[in-house]
Amino acid sequence: MSQEIKFRSLPITNKKVIDILSRHRPWQGKILDLGCGEGFFLSLAASKMLENGCASISERLFACDLCPQDFKFEKIKADSCDFNSVLPYQNNTFNAVCSIEVIEHLENIFHYAREVYRILKPGGVAVITTPNILNINSRLRFLVSGFPLLYNPLPISFQDPQDLGGHINPISYYYLVYSLKRAGFKEIKLHTDRLKNSAKILTLIFYVPIKIFEKLIFKRFKKEEKAACEENMEILSKINSLPLLLGRTVIVEAIK
């Protein structure tokens, strides 16, 4: 009997990742879900594969998780993975690697980016999502509390916060893209799953001051760190873009 598969990240985020993958049409290749949970995303990917005439799902879809015993998608088996260590896959294995709401739980995002790059085939696509700590709601919460949205104080004296499902590593769009570029990814695009209505109102209020201060601060950056600014210009140009000010989730599409 099939078990009910519950989602751990929002369905809209999973469906957006499927939409991004569809542009690359990896359905006849191999797809890995890093941090598969119960298998909600892979159930969507399997349906997409069947729509595209691929029947050998068990040979095309792969899953891994810190807690593989929770995996419920019966057509494939989940591997056990410690994402802070070396992933148990050979170089140049996958056409696509997806990681939905995982990287904010990890200690070392640079190691993770290098591992994702390593196991992807040349020309393969990585799709990585994380809570958007640069949306206007999160920026204001951080200003008042010191914590972005979806991040709170963590236990220090007992229990590994990773075991609690804790968000231990707030990652902004800049540092996510920076880690991917350092790993070797060349072509990187920004997406989001949905625009927050409350953020639209706040952005109307704060957008002009934000853009004024952005101009002043970036002018100073360019004066003090000209070479670094020129190298980072593509990323910096998006820091106060509407997708980041309004979006609930950062979704990055990166080509090896």
DSSP for 186-250 reads: -EEEEE-S-B-HHHHHHHHHHHHHHHHHHHHHHHHHHHHSHHHHHHHHHHHTTTTSHHHHHBSEE
pLDDT at 166 over 80: no
Closest CA to 94 of 66, 123, 70: 123
Report the DSSP beta bridge partners of residue 32: 62, 97
| Domain boundaries of the chain, sorted by first residue | 11-132+165-194+248-255
186-240 tens-digit pLDDT: 999 999 999 999 999 999 999 999 999 999 999 998 889 889 999 999 999 999 9
The whole-model pTM stands at 0.92
Return the structure tokens found at 68. Answer: 């593989």
pLDDT at 86 over 90: yes
Torsion of CA 85, 130, 93, 49, to 10 degrees: 140
Residue 158's pLDDT band, with cuts at 50, 70 and 90, is: low
pLDDT at 163: 52
The helix/strand/coil state of 170 is coil
95-153 tens-digit pLDDT: 999 999 999 999 899 999 999 999 999 999 999 999 999 999 999 999 999 999 999 98
**Residues belonging to the chain:** 256
d(CA 125, CA 65): 20
245-256 tens-digit pLDDT: 999 999 999 999
Q: In this structure, are residues 26 and 98 in contact, taking their beta carbons and an 8 Å threshold?
A: no
The superfamily in CATH containing domain 11-132+165-194+248-255 is Vaccinia Virus protein VP39 (3.40.50.150)
- Strands (E) in the chain, as ranges, are 31-34, 61-65, 78-80, 94-100, 120-131, 187-191, 249-255
pLDDT at 3: 63
32-79 tens-digit pLDDT: 999 999 999 999 999 999 888 887 888 999 999 998 999 999 889 999
Residue 1's pLDDT band, with cuts at 50, 70 and 90, is: very low
